[in-house]
Amino acid sequence: MGIFDFLTGEFIDVIHWVDDTRDTLVFRFEREGHEIKYGAKLTVREGQAAVFVHEGQLADVFTPGLYMLETNNMPVMTTLQHWDHGFKSPFKSEIYYVNTTRFANLKWGTKNPIMVRDPEFGPVRLRAYGTYAIRVVDPARFLTEIVGTDGEFTMDEISFQIRNIIVQEFSRVVAGSGIPVLDMAANTADLGKLVAAEISGTIAEYGLAIPELYIENISLPPAVEAAMDKRTSMGIVGDLGKYTQFSAAEAMTAAAQTPNSGMGAGMGMGMGMAMAQQMAQTGPWGAAPAAQTPQAAPAPQTNAAPPPPPPVEHVWHIAENGQTKGPFSKAALGRMATGGDITRETHVWTAGQDGWKHAEDVAELAQLFTILPPPPPGA
């Protein structure tokens, strides 16, 4: 070291700290032998506090400002060093800078599910996660309770403990809130405030405060969520009968698109007949044809639209020995019933029907087995 640097160091001593790490809570200002000259300049910036520790005992705490380290600025140090007559020799102390700014966007979450009792679903397991912010409000207490003699204390060294406290208080608050699971999403802000209030007393003993705590999500186990989705789908469906018809139509469409499938061909034919019947009843644009008022002498028209096709009756398939036969018209089934080829127990199916049914259970076919021919002439 040059003579000029040596003389400069003897005349003035500047103590300051600039943090560029964004995660350091406490930094110890290093001096060789921890020797600080009397009258040195101490700079404490906004968002900082400087704590003097002398011979293992906390001495003074300096808030933001510029200080000359003299007896009038250090009452505690003056008492410890007995500088009652302005003794101006160097003193050996440690200076700890404490970051008092807000550390935001810190993560927390439940490691394991929380068991709560829901008034609607009974016992359920919940998971939750979110963010929080923390800051040092009592530098002296934080230094004595948490940091100790650590020369560089970072947020990672205490975040795990803070997360455990948050999860513990969150579990207790949610379990005792009585809020239904389905209503928790609408009350996350209030739950966050309750949890922060419960935590404040515990972390105040560390010299810390939590100005913000947010609950981003509260979720149920995947199996429970799947059951709730199914229940929601049923609520959206509404009319179960229409939903059954829709499902049957989708199944027939898929079967009709399967190549080399006799059942698919039969289903496709049945669908085509049913669609033609529906179009005949509702008109080509899906609306019932308007009623026509009779006119006395309608003018002759050219290129008149052809009349709608007659209603198409249902066609039926029958199941025998594990195979499907048909389709058959109702008249054909009547002849088969007369000849004994089908009975009341024969399984039949037509487009729009929910599965196979016995012939006697189908109102349209039951009459084939109940109506007898009239008496012969002359009887």
Name the residue among 207, 209, 211 with its Cα closest to residue 192. Answer: 211
Number of domains in the chain: 3
Residues 52 and 114 in one domain: no
Residue 303 domain flag: no
Residue 299 domain flag: no
Residues 248 and 215 in one domain: no
Residue 186 domain flag: yes
pLDDT at 340: 80
Residues 251 and 348 in one domain: yes
Range of the domain at 10: 3-99
Residue 189 domain flag: yes
Residues 109 and 95 in one domain: no
Q: What is the mean pLDDT of residues 200-216?
A: 91
Whole-number Å distance between alpha carbons of 222 and 225: 5
Residue showing tokens 């290129």: 303
Residues 256 and 343 in one domain: yes
Residues 88 and 109 in one domain: no
Task: Tell which wins on pLDDT, 242 or 374.
Answer: 242
Q: Are 163 and 108 in contact (CB under 8 A)?
A: yes
Name the residue among 123, 127, 124 with its Cα closest to residue 112. Answer: 127
Residues 357 and 340 in one domain: yes
Of the listed ranges 7-11, 40-44, 200-204, the one predicted with least confidence: 7-11
What is the sign of the dihedral through the CA atoms of 152, 35, 5 and 3?
Answer: negative
Residues 262 and 354 in one domain: yes
Residues 90 and 109 in one domain: no
Model confidence band, residue 281 (pLDDT cutoffs 50, 70, 90): low
Residue 205 domain flag: yes
Q: Are 203 and 162 in contact (CB under 8 A)?
A: yes
Residues 271 and 362 in one domain: yes
Give me the residues paired with residue 315 across strands: 329
Name the residue among 372, 342, 373, 371 with its Cα closest to residue 359. Answer: 342
Residues 117 and 200 in one domain: yes
For residue 274, the domain's CATH number is 3.30.1490
Q: What is the mean pLDDT of residues 336-353?
A: 84
Give residue 211's identity as a one-letter amino acid code.
Answer: P
For residue 156, the domain's CATH number is 3.30.479.30
Of the listed ranges 107-116, 196-205, 224-233, 255-264, the one predicted with least confidence: 255-264
